[in-house]
Amino acid sequence: MTANRRFRNVTRIGHVQVGTAYDHRGREKHTAACTAPRCNFSADYDSRAAAELAARTHRCPVR
Ligand SMILES: [Zn+2]
């Protein structure tokens, strides 16, 4: 996942890592990012629950 942002509370659900970070406005945001090679899935969410749900439901094209 993007290593140049400072994520806290990083957890891993399958291939997907979920982390909490502050964006450039200082607001908390929650990112789900797939770690599988060649899978570019990465998305930001307003809540941790939404990010974790996205991680659980991610259908990774890379198997
Ligand atoms: Zn994936």
Torsion of CA 8, 6, 12, 51, to 10 degrees: 80
The predicted structure's pLDDT at residue 62: 78
Å from CA of 18 to ligand 1 middle: 13
Å from CA of 13 to ligand 1 middle: 11
The predicted structure's pLDDT at residue 24: 86
Å from CA of 23 to ligand 1 middle: 23
| Ordered per-residue pLDDT tens for the chain, 63 residues | 455 568 899 999 999 999 999 988 889 999 999 999 999 999 999 999 999 999 999 999 976
Å from CA of 25 to ligand 1 middle: 28
CA separation for the pair 49, 63 (Å, rounded): 25
The predicted structure's pLDDT at residue 5: 62
- The model carries a pTM of 0.82
The predicted structure's pLDDT at residue 23: 85
CA separation for the pair 6, 38 (Å, rounded): 23
Sign of CA dihedral 9, 13, 14, 18: negative
